[in-house]
Amino acid sequence: MKNENRALMIEEALIFEQGEEGRTGIDLPDPPEAAKKKQKLGGLRRTGKIGLPGLSEPQVVRHFTRLSQKNFGIDSVFYPLGSCTMKHNPRLNEKVARMPGFADLHPLQPASTIQGALELIDQLAHWLKTLTGMPAVTMVPGAGAHGEFCGMAVIKTALEARGEKRTKILVPESAHGTNPATAAALGFTVEAIPATEEGRVDLQHFREKLGPDVAAIMLTNPNTCGLFERDIRAIADAVHAAGAYFYCDGANFNAIVGRVRPADLGIDVMHINLHKTFSTPHGGGGPGAGPVVLAESLAPYAPLPWVVRDGQKFALLEQAEGNAAKSFGRMKGFHGQMGMFTRALAYILSHGADGLWQVSGDAVLNANYILAGLKDVMSAPFKGPCMHEALFDDRFLKDTGVTTADIAKALIDRGFHPMTMYFPLVVHGAFLIEPTETESKETLDEFIAAMRDLAAKAKQGDVEMFKQSPLYTPRRRLDETLAARQPVLKWSPPESGSPDKAAKVA
């Protein structure tokens, strides 16, 4: 047998390839004999096997420990993924979220037993309103895109209440993909606004597109080029003069939190990704939370439920009645991502107003330090200063035969997670680097040195090294085309006739 293991890097089969019938990792007491005889299944008992493998606890622990070792995380490496705000995740947040007083609360308990939970939601809501300067917030949405949907549904409902049928949403070309996807899901047509040579909204073009058919603009600020939209007040004024709403994508709130209140920029709606700015962990793809702050005129349309205060007591308004009569309805089960609220509040209380002021300052400082450290060897499409992320394009790779993806993959072998690549779409071969405030100067210096070295190697024509990268990862470059062309989305037992063909290649 060929040895594929390399010290800490150990090949690990799927659980389905390891199990043995009769084994289990869970002991349960036997139900009383008398109880076992009772059956109320109405003839709907499952016939045949489910197919789940049997593993003991030590096997399961080792399996997932080994799998974890095949992952980069913020804990282990610098993770400058632009637009994703991969900052340190304090473990205190995890500890408080696991307090039985929060973790073991059933969402449908009587109000008298959940006062602390509702007070926590109210406290976090107060922080979010104060930090944004906005009068209202809904805590319901489950993630950023869900928050976008919520905010745009609020706008749509408000327009309907005004008796207006506005069909168009203006979205800058540089926007996150979720923006046009959200607008389209709500039945709006999307019109792209081009960017200027300075990487910002083309105000002239934007004004021309504004009209009585425009419902809203969806604008990310700072934008996805890492730049602050200088004309934001003029944009807001024009939007409002046209009778439309200003939706701000708050994915990049980390750049300005505690220093700039979005309300002072003229926005009407903004979602906040708690898993970005307020450091609830990303968890390999969620869960997140996407509370949405709202202007006074839009607040009545917020989704259910509402947390309301009735004298000294808190209560949940779960139906579209009373103050919530104009709500656009329910958009998920129960009351929002409580587990994320406890973590976000722990993060916020740890920092306080002074700490958050420093958060945005250091986030922006770190990004500008990277920009300054790399702009002579890479190509920055726009003039600085940048906000919390530094953007480069691939002009510096012209005629080298090396691509943005090659640099990203080579970076992996140097022990760094790649930056966001090929986004935003407005520049060619984008590198979007977001260091966040939780990285030390030493780490940034190491990263800058690694990037400078890679840029030099690309220019020296060391193409082969790049195309081979990464060399030291548990898997080398993966064939994404094959995965999409012949989708294998689950394991199948070998005898079923469709064994995993790919496995045989290994």
Residue 450 binds other proteins (CB under 8 A): no
Question: Quick one: which of 213, 318, 446, 462 contacts other proteins (CB under 8 A)?
Answer: 318
Pattern 83-112, other proteins, x by CB under 8 A: -x-x-xxx-x-xxxxxxxxxxxxxxxxxxx
Structure tokens belonging to residue 464: 């082969």
Pattern 122-161, other proteins, x by CB under 8 A: -x---x--xx----------xxxxx-xx---x--xx----
Q: Which is nearer to other proteins, 74 or 219 (CB)?
A: 74
Q: Which is nearer to other proteins, 160 or 208 (CB)?
A: 160
Residue 457 binds other proteins (CB under 8 A): no
Burial per residue of 158-167, b for 16 or more beta-carbon CB atoms within 10 angstroms, e otherwise: bbeeeeeebe
Residue 167 binds other proteins (CB under 8 A): no
The sign of the dihedral angle between the CA atoms of 477, 478, 480, 482 is positive
Residue 284 binds other proteins (CB under 8 A): yes
At 315, which helix (H) or strand (E)?
strand 313-317
Residue 172 binds other proteins (CB under 8 A): no
Nearest Cα to Cα of residue 156 among 182, 192, 138: 182
Question: Quick one: which of 78, 79, 431, 447 contacts other proteins (CB under 8 A)?
Answer: 79
Q: In the bound complex, what is the minimum distance in angstroms from residue 173's beta carbon to other proteins?
A: 10
Residue 71 binds other proteins (CB under 8 A): yes
Residue 337 binds other proteins (CB under 8 A): yes
Q: In the bound complex, what is the minimum distance in angstroms from residue 28's beta carbon to other proteins?
A: 5
Judged by CB under 8 A, the chain residues 360 through 399 that form the site for other proteins are: 361-362, 364-366, 368-369, 371-373, 385, 387
- Which range, of 227-235, 237-245, 389-397, 454-462, touches other proteins by CB under 8 A? 227-235
Q: In the bound complex, what is the minimum distance in angstroms from residue 399's beta carbon to other proteins?
A: 25
Residue 15 binds other proteins (CB under 8 A): yes
- Tell me the CB-side half-sphere exposure of residue 347, using CA atoms within 13 A: 26
408 in Cβ contact with 421 (< 8 Å): yes
The sign of the dihedral angle between the CA atoms of 446, 90, 287, 300 is negative
Residue 463 binds other proteins (CB under 8 A): no
Pattern 177-196, other proteins, x by CB under 8 A: xx-xxxxxxxx--x------
Q: What is the 3-state secondary structure (H, E, C) of 342-371?
A: HHHHHHHHHHHHHHHHHHHHHHHHHHHHHH
Residue 317 binds other proteins (CB under 8 A): no
Question: Quick one: which of 278, 392, 423, 447 contacts other proteins (CB under 8 A)?
Answer: 423
Question: Quick one: which of 51, 194, 212, 401 contacts other proteins (CB under 8 A)?
Answer: 51
Question: Quick one: which of 125, 324, 356, 432 contacts other proteins (CB under 8 A)?
Answer: 356
Q: State the burial class of residue 20 (Cβ atoms within 10 Å of its Cβ: 0-12, 13-18, 19+).
A: exposed
332/330 Cα distance (integer angstroms): 6
Q: Treating both helix axes as pointing N-terminal to C-terminal, what angle do 338-374 and 441-460 enclose, rounded to 10 degrees?
A: 50
At 215, which helix (H) or strand (E)?
strand 214-220
Residue 315 binds other proteins (CB under 8 A): no
466 in Cβ contact with 394 (< 8 Å): no
Determine the size of the site formed for other proteins (CB under 8 A).
211
418/405 Cα distance (integer angstroms): 9
148/162 Cα distance (integer angstroms): 21
Q: In the bound complex, what is the minimum distance in angstroms from residue 459's beta carbon to other proteins?
A: 23
Phi, psi (degrees; rounded to nearest 5) at 420: -70, 135
Q: In the bound complex, what is the minimum distance in angstroms from residue 269's beta carbon to other proteins?
A: 15
Pattern 204-223, other proteins, x by CB under 8 A: --------------------
Provide the 3-class DSSP secondary structure of residue 201. strand
Question: Quick one: which of 26, 310, 322, 464 contacts other proteins (CB under 8 A)?
Answer: 26
Residue 226 binds other proteins (CB under 8 A): no
Q: What is the 3-state secondary structure (H, E, C) of 387-439?
A: CCCEEEECHHHCCCCCCHHHHHHHHHHCCCCCCEECCCCCCCCCEEECCCCCC
Residue 325 binds other proteins (CB under 8 A): no
Q: Which is nearer to other proteins, 283 or 461 (CB)?
A: 283
- Cα 398 to chain center, whole Å? 32
Q: Which is nearer to other proteins, 399 or 476 (CB)?
A: 476
Nearest Cα to Cα of residue 83 among 146, 177, 151: 177
Burial per residue of 325-341, b for 16 or more beta-carbon CB atoms within 10 angstroms, e otherwise: eebbeebeeebbbbbbb
Judged by CB under 8 A, the chain residues 476 through 505 that form the site for other proteins are: 476-480, 482-484, 487-491, 500, 502-503, 505
Residue 252 binds other proteins (CB under 8 A): no
Structure tokens belonging to residue 24: 């289990």
